[in-house]
Structure 1
């Protein structure tokens, strides 16, 4: 090879861009109900999106499905640092992201999808390194709130019954002397007419599982809105549902 060809080859190789190859990187993503267990199939699953936190590029999306986890390990027994909390049946989504350099990603959860009135969104940011999988318990994002399903029953003479069916976001049951005891929660019905509050009615736990209820009598005909809620002031969990009804005293 003469000197001119060698110099040209050297210059060409110097100017050629470095070729980088994306590496599939796996990340286990889980959703946990605040003060309860993992959120999964029993409540309709949780939608997951993984985006570049700086450019908003969608890198992956999917659904969290599976079981709520071991009650003894998660709730009854003290959790020790470094202890593995999940197994192969625990709800999660195994995300695979192809990246060729470290990325700051934003993981967003939306669920539980079987109860649209109780949908919550939660998100975090974290770094992903190409080829460095994050498996096992993975990234767990806590979701606050209660699942709340409210309705009314209108009886004769302006009598109205209010009902609220509530559970933790994982579907874990509220029952007397249970792990989630109704005595720790406050439930009420806010009564509205023409977007003005006219009364607030305490709901008592009537069970056997998750049901709070009350009864009142209204003296005027018209359309009413009931906002039924349950709150745990210690954990910050709140669940709410709204319903409309009509009173006709004519």
Structure 2
């Protein structure tokens, strides 16, 4: 009897698979106030699950270009005008489904920058054979990618060398899509608030303002007069878009 049930279950599975229809869903990750996350920044990791049983239906990374700047950033774009051109980064998810399926589309982005990575998700019904292409499903990724370049992590510095000149704090800051932040540019570094919050031995010591000195590069000065264990938190904030980003480094002064 059990053998018959097993054969019946397998037969039903084969029949069900035979009626599955390949359904394409384009998934894109767009940096807030910027462009698509594509190959140049390492893409965005996409997972599509069946909402009811959590089965993974498709998984992969977005690939392609960040897209056309004018086409994406032009606020006068019409209601149904496409934001993405043919080369703009996407993940072409192919779902094999036999009936309308409620799915959860999850994006982890940027895929290769874990300290800046955020999770965005949306749930929607997908109908067999009804492809969702064109712009597809666009998930917004807020924030900045921040990498503190100086001081280096767990670097040991001599107080004697810091008495004559301040310590330079440097951070590389880019949009989540990799778009360039520069003085006076479309993503204007002069309009962003960037600061370093400094702690010594766990206690707040001071804040130092940082300014854009080159493409994606922000710099500030820190006056150190005592030995100790230091932590520097660099944050960026754009009041116009609400984008934020943070990186943290620890170092020691002997």
Q: The TM-score by the shorter chain falls in which range? A: 0.7 to 0.9
Q: Structure 1 residue 69: deviation in Å?
A: 0.5
Matched positions, count: 232
For the residue of structure 1 that corresponds to 2:40, the secondary structure is helix
Q: 2:92 aligns with which of 69, 86, 94?
A: 94
Residue 90 of structure 2 corresponds to residue 84 of structure 1: no
Moved over 6 A (4+): none
What is the TM-score when the length of structure 1 is the normalising length? 0.87
Aligned counterpart, 2:236: 230
- Unaligned stretches of 5+ residues in structure 1: 1-16
CA offsets 1:168-193 (integer angstroms, 9 cap, x no match): 11111111221011122100001123
Q: How does 1:148-187 map to 2 (within 5 A)?
A: 148-153=146-151, 156-158=161-163, 159-187=166-194
What is the TM-score when the length of structure 2 is the normalising length? 0.86
Q: Structure 1 residue 164: deviation in Å?
A: 1.4
CA distance in 2, matches of 1:157, 1:37: 41
Cα contact 1:152–1:245 (8 A) shared by 2: no
Aligned counterpart, 2:210: 203
Cα contact 1:69–1:89 (8 A) shared by 2: yes
Cα contact 1:151–1:243 (8 A) shared by 2: no
Aligned counterpart, 1:71: 69
Aligned counterpart, 2:7: none
CA distance in 2, matches of 1:66, 1:86: 11
Query: Over alpha carbons, which structure has the higher Rg?
Result: 1
Q: 1:59 aligns with which of 57, 60, 71?
A: 57
Aligned counterpart, 2:154: none
- Unaligned stretches of 5+ residues in structure 2: 1-11, 152-156
CA RMSD of aligned residues (A): 1.9
CA offsets 1:11-31 (integer angstroms, 9 cap, x no match): xxxxxx8x5421111101001
Cα contact 2:190–2:211 (8 A) shared by 1: no
Q: Structure 1 residue 86: deviation in Å?
A: 1.7
Q: Structure 1 residue 77: deviation in Å?
A: 5.8
